[in-house]
Amino acid sequence: MAKTPKKPLKAETRLITAGRDPQSQFGFVNPPVYHASTVLYPTAEDQVAHRSRYQYGRRGTPTTEALEAALQDMEGPNCGGAVLVPSGLAAISTALLAVVGAGDHILVTDSVYRPTRNFCNGMFKRLGVETTYYDPLVGADIGKLFKPNTKAVFVEAPGSQSFEIQDIPAIAKVAHDKGALVIMDNTWATPLYFKAFDKGVDISVQAGTKYIGGHSDIMFGCITGTAATYPALKDAYNYLGLCVGPDDVFLALRGLRTMAVRLKQHQEAGLKVARWLAARPEVARVMHPALESDPGHAIWKRDFTGASGLFSIELKPMSEAAVYAFMNALTLFGMGFSWGGFESLVIIFDCNEYRTATKWAPSGPTLRFHIGLEDPDDLIADLDDGFKAMAQALA
Ligand SMILES: *Cc1c(COP(=O)(O)O)cnc(C)c1O
């Protein structure tokens, strides 16, 4: 049996202890990785009665239960349970399918992760669900957008690529008054820095591919719910036949153990690089809610307990060639999608490719950075070289 600690534990400690009972597995620190489909019953009577702790690989193993328990623990006491799915996008689509159906209407923030929009505009449209996109800064005015059949409000803070902070408690209050649920994409802050269920969220999704995995080597997603919404999530998981391979479950659990220290470093280094970029003459604006100058800073400070290592910048007007020269000169920043790993990344993006409810009018090109676990001084020196190459291209 696991020993029971004498005092309530802090979040960092709980990440180490949650979902782990070494004495139930011969003392080994980590749970075994069960590769499994069939589960054998000892007798015909047991088989007929489904009398077994586990029924079938897809329906759960000690390995998946360990990760589910740890994820639920990370969310805090207002969480009713966690469901594991093969990607962050699967977490989004499964959460939506769990609680929204034909004839329903949903409200989705215009700053949402682009594939969430693809799901709503594609599959949800085909299934008879109507989507309205709204300004992420709408706050309590979201009430004006409700229809009699509005079933859910989808929030994401900060917004993908553009980093607007939403007033989630205000939106949740209106949604609940009108009998709708709030679904949040909490990939950026993670439950360590935003306690979704304490702020009125009913269902939270994370791309575990990002900070939970932390090493750019797994695809994984998780959905957590309150005691009220969790059963619908588990049903949707079972209907859809989803499951995550045991090796990826193991890597997610391993990533979770070090997530608090990694996030602390991503936050600190990210802020150092963001402040340095904000002071550069080539940069018009840094989109990072933990910067005092950011329009979302006050709400971020009120609702969040930290920031991760992902933010964007808007450059002053310049040629594409100059931006490419900057990016191509970088040696420590990889150019690629996804984020949350130990390495730094940069991409160029344009929200105008998909926004419909709000105007996106930056003065110049926009870049998104993920600040990894390298020494930030090395990253700053690398960016300085990039700006030199930019200047040459502009000359
Ligand atoms: C990456 C990402 C996802 C999707 O995660 P995958 O594991 O790549 O499917 C969802 N939401 C946000 C905010 C993301 O950044």
| C-beta of 338 in contact with ligand 1 (< 6 A) | yes
My answer on whether 206 and 267 are in the same domain is: no
Burial class (CB in 10 A: 0-12, 13-18, 19+), 392: exposed
Q: Which of 131, 182, 187 is nearest to 163 (CA)?
A: 187
Cβ-Cβ contacts under 8 Å for 176 (sequence gap 6 or more): 182, 200
State the pLDDT at residue 319.
Answer: 96
My answer on whether 228 and 296 are in the same domain is: no
Give the distance (Å) from ligand 1 centre to CA of residue 128: 25
8 A C-beta contact, residue 206 and residue 221: yes
Length of the chain: 395
State the pLDDT at residue 3.
Answer: 72
Q: How far apart are CA 168 and CA 154, in angstroms?
A: 10
State the pLDDT at residue 40.
Answer: 96
| C-beta of 223 in contact with ligand 1 (< 6 A) | no
State the pLDDT at residue 5.
Answer: 76
pLDDT digits (tens, 9 = 90+) for 151-180: 999 999 999 999 999 999 999 999 999 999
State the pLDDT at residue 58.
Answer: 96
Q: How far apart are CA 30 and CA 33, in angstroms?
A: 9
8 A C-beta contact, residue 113 and residue 91: no
My answer on whether 204 and 299 are in the same domain is: no
My answer on whether 316 and 231 are in the same domain is: no
Q: Which of 360, 337, 332 is nearest to 347 (CA)?
A: 337
Coil, strand or helix at 230: helix
| C-beta of 185 in contact with ligand 1 (< 6 A) | yes
My answer on whether 250 and 276 are in the same domain is: no
Q: How far apart are CA 216 and CA 47, in angstroms?
A: 41
Residue 1 is assigned to a structural domain of this protein: no
Asked about 185 being catalytic, the answer comes back as yes
Asked about 377 being catalytic, the answer comes back as no
Residue 348 is assigned to a structural domain of this protein: yes
My answer on whether 245 and 266 are in the same domain is: no
Cα 269-270-271 angle, rounded to 5 deg: 90
My answer on whether 313 and 176 are in the same domain is: no
Residue 383 is assigned to a structural domain of this protein: yes
Domain that holds residue 237: 11-255
pLDDT digits (tens, 9 = 90+) for 216-275: 999 999 999 999 999 999 999 999 999 999 999 999 999 999 999 999 999 999 999 999
Give the distance (Å) from ligand 1 centre to CA of residue 256: 17
My answer on whether 34 and 59 are in the same domain is: yes
Structure tokens of 287? 């989109």
| C-beta of 132 in contact with ligand 1 (< 6 A) | no
State the pLDDT at residue 178.
Answer: 98
Residue 328 is assigned to a structural domain of this protein: yes
| Tally of domains in the chain | 2
Residue 266 is assigned to a structural domain of this protein: yes
Instruction: Specify the ligand 1 atom closest to the Cα of 220.
Output: 7
My answer on whether 41 and 139 are in the same domain is: yes
State the pLDDT at residue 2.
Answer: 61
Among 73, 110, 167, 185, the active-site one is 185
Q: Which of 292, 87, 329, 300 is nearest to 187 (CA)?
A: 87
Buried b (16+ CB within 10 A) or exposed e, 71-102: bbbbbeeebbbbbbbbbbbbbbbbbbbbbbee
My answer on whether 58 and 184 are in the same domain is: yes
Phi-psi region of 68 (alpha: psi -120 to 50; beta: other; left: phi over 0): alpha
Q: Which of 330, 340, 326 is nearest to 373 (CA)?
A: 340
Domain CATH number, residue 167? 3.40.640.10
Among 73, 104, 110, 113, the active-site one is 113
| C-beta of 191 in contact with ligand 1 (< 6 A) | no
8 A C-beta contact, residue 47 and residue 96: no
Q: How far apart are CA 393 and CA 395, in angstroms?
A: 6
Mean pLDDT in consecutive groups of 10 residues from the start of the chain, 395 residues: 76 94 94 96 96 95 97 97 98 98 98 98 98 98 98 98 98 98 98 98 98 98 98 98 97 98 98 98 98 98 98 97 98 97 98 95 97 98 98 95
Asked about 58 being catalytic, the answer comes back as yes
My answer on whether 62 and 110 are in the same domain is: yes
Q: How far apart are CA 263 and CA 212, in angstroms?
A: 10
Domain CATH number, residue 378? 3.90.1150.10
